[in-house]
Amino acid sequence: MKKLDRRDIKTGDIAVSFHGVTKTFEQWQRSGGIKNTLQNLIRPQKKTIAALDDVSFTINRGEFTAYAGPNGAGKSTTIKLICGMLLPLQGEISVLGMSPAKNRIALMKKVGVMFGNRTELWWDHPVLQSFEWKREVWDIPKEQYKRTLDRLVELLDIQDILHTFARELSLGQRMKADLTMTLLHAPELILLDEPTIGLDVLAKRQMISFLKELNQEKETTILVTSHDMDDLEQMARRIIMVESGHVAFDGSFSSLRAVTGSKCKISLELLTDASPEFEGAALLSREGRRFEYEFDMGRTSMSAVLSQIGAVEGVMNVEIKKAPIEDVIAGLYVEWKKQ
C-alpha cells in the first residue's frame, strides 16, 4: 500500500523521529525431534525476525497518533525504543530532541508511559501512596504535584479510590489510577500501550474523552497503540500502521478508508420475499425480508445505488452504514497475509 502525504496533519516541532530504524530479534527454532534436538545442541538454529525494518516517521508535538498493526507487527517494540528500554540495531531515534539511548534519565522526566497490561501501582499500598512515591522518584515540586493531582482526580473521578489499596481496585479503577500516575509529572509525550484493554464501555468512554481533552487543552503529544480500531479512531487524528516491520500506512483515518476502499453497507426491509439485485452491490445476508448489501463507494456512487433502490417496489426501510474501521483494518490484515 502506498504511503500518503500527511498534508492534513499540522506541522510543528518534532516530538518523535525515527530515521531508518531497524530492530531485529532472534527466535530459537526447534522441531522437537531427537535428531533436531541433538543438532541444536551443537549448532542452535535461530531465525532472525525483523520487528522494525528501516522504519522512518516523525510525530509532531501536539499530535495524537494511533499506532496499529497485527500481532507481532512491532508496536510494543517501537514504544520500548522510544523509551530507551531497547536499542535499535540501525538507524536514529530522537525523542523530544534527545537520544533515548544516551539520555534515558532526562527523557523519562518528560515522557509518560503506560502499558495497559502492567501496573506501576504499589500493590499493598493505598493508591495515594503510589502517587507520593512517584512525586519523590520523579522529583516533582510539591506545588506542581498538588495542582496536577487535584486536576487529575477531578477529571478522572478517582476521589473515592485514593485511599484504597491497589490490589482491591477493579480493572477500570486500576487503569484510571495508572493513567493518573502516568500523567502526574505532566509529561510532554505520552505513550500508551493498549490503554483501553479490558475496560467496560463507560470506563472506556471516560478514558478516551479524557485523553482527547488532554491532547486538545495541553497540546500533549500522545502515541497510542491498541487492537481496538474503533477506539483508536475515536481518539487519534492520525494513524500509522505497521506490518512485518514496515510502515504500511501513515495518514488520517479518512485517508485510510479512501485507500482501502470505502465499503458501505445497506440494509433493506421489503414487503416481498424476492431479493433484488443492484449493480455494483453484493448481497451479504438475508434474514426474512431483511437484506444486507455491501458496495464500494470508490467504485459505485451512493446516489447511483440509492436511485436503484428507489426503483424497487415495496421498500419499507433503508439503513445505510459505513463499514466500521475494524472491518477496514481486518480486510487490510487479510490482504497483507496473502502477499
Strand intervals (E) in the chain: 14-28, 46-60, 64-68, 90-95, 111-115, 189-193, 221-225, 238-243, 246-252, 263-270, 281-287, 290-296, 315-322
In which order are the strands placed within the sheet that holds 281-287? 281-287, 290-296, 263-270, 315-322
- When binding is defined by CB under 8 A, the residue of 69, 84, 116, 245 that contacts another protein is 84
**What is the SS3 assignment for 110?**
coil
Q: Which three cell numbers stand for residue 251?
A: 495518514
Residue appearing with cell numbers 459505485: 300
What's the closest the beta carbon of residue 185 comes to another protein, in angstroms?
8
What's the closest the beta carbon of residue 187 comes to another protein, in angstroms?
11
Taking CB under 8 A as the rule, does residue 149 contact another protein?
no
For helices 201-218 and 171-183, give the axis angle rounded to 10 degrees: 10
Taking CB under 8 A as the rule, does residue 259 contact another protein?
no
Taking CB under 8 A as the rule, does residue 196 contact another protein?
no
Taking CB under 8 A as the rule, does residue 162 contact another protein?
no
Taking CB under 8 A as the rule, does residue 87 contact another protein?
yes
Taking CB under 8 A as the rule, does residue 245 contact another protein?
no
**What is the SS3 assignment for 125?**
coil
Q: Measured from the CB atom, is 136 or 273 closer to another protein?
A: 136
Q: Measured from the CB atom, is 48 or 339 closer to another protein?
A: 48
CA dist 307 and 298 (Å) reads 17
Residue appearing with cell numbers 523519562: 108
105 burial via Cβ count (<10 Å: 0-12, 13-18, 19+): exposed
- When binding is defined by CB under 8 A, the residue of 121, 240, 247, 281 that contacts another protein is 121
Let me know how long the chain is.
339
Taking CB under 8 A as the rule, does residue 80 contact another protein?
yes
Name the segment binding another protein (CB under 8 A); options: 7-15, 113-121, 153-161, 285-293. Answer: 113-121
Q: Measured from the CB atom, is 69 or 74 closer to another protein?
A: 74
Taking CB under 8 A as the rule, does residue 124 contact another protein?
yes
Q: Measured from the CB atom, is 137 or 316 closer to another protein?
A: 137
- When binding is defined by CB under 8 A, the residue of 17, 39, 133, 290 that contacts another protein is 133
What's the closest the beta carbon of residue 178 comes to another protein, in angstroms?
12
Name the segment binding another protein (CB under 8 A); options: 127-135, 206-214, 255-263, 305-313. Answer: 127-135
Q: How many helices (H) and strands (E) does the chain have?
A: 11, 13
**Could you give the C-alpha distances from 94 to 9, 19, 60, 194, 338, in angstroms and in order?**
20, 9, 12, 23, 34
Taking CB under 8 A as the rule, does residue 154 contact another protein?
no
Q: Measured from the CB atom, is 81 or 329 closer to another protein?
A: 81
Q: Measured from the CB atom, is 26 or 277 closer to another protein?
A: 26
| Nearest one of 171, 178, 172 to 131, comparing CA atoms | 178
Backbone angles phi, psi at 280, to 5 degrees: 85, 0
In which order are the strands placed within the sheet that holds 14-28? 46-60, 14-28, 90-95
Q: Measured from the CB atom, is 85 or 282 closer to another protein?
A: 85
Taking CB under 8 A as the rule, does residue 177 contact another protein?
no
Taking CB under 8 A as the rule, does residue 311 contact another protein?
no
Name the segment binding another protein (CB under 8 A); options: 5-13, 39-47, 82-90, 251-259. Answer: 82-90
Taking CB under 8 A as the rule, does residue 41 contact another protein?
no
Residues forming the site for another protein (CB under 8 A) = 25-26, 77, 80, 83-87, 101, 104-109, 111, 113, 115, 117-125, 129, 132-133, 136-139, 167
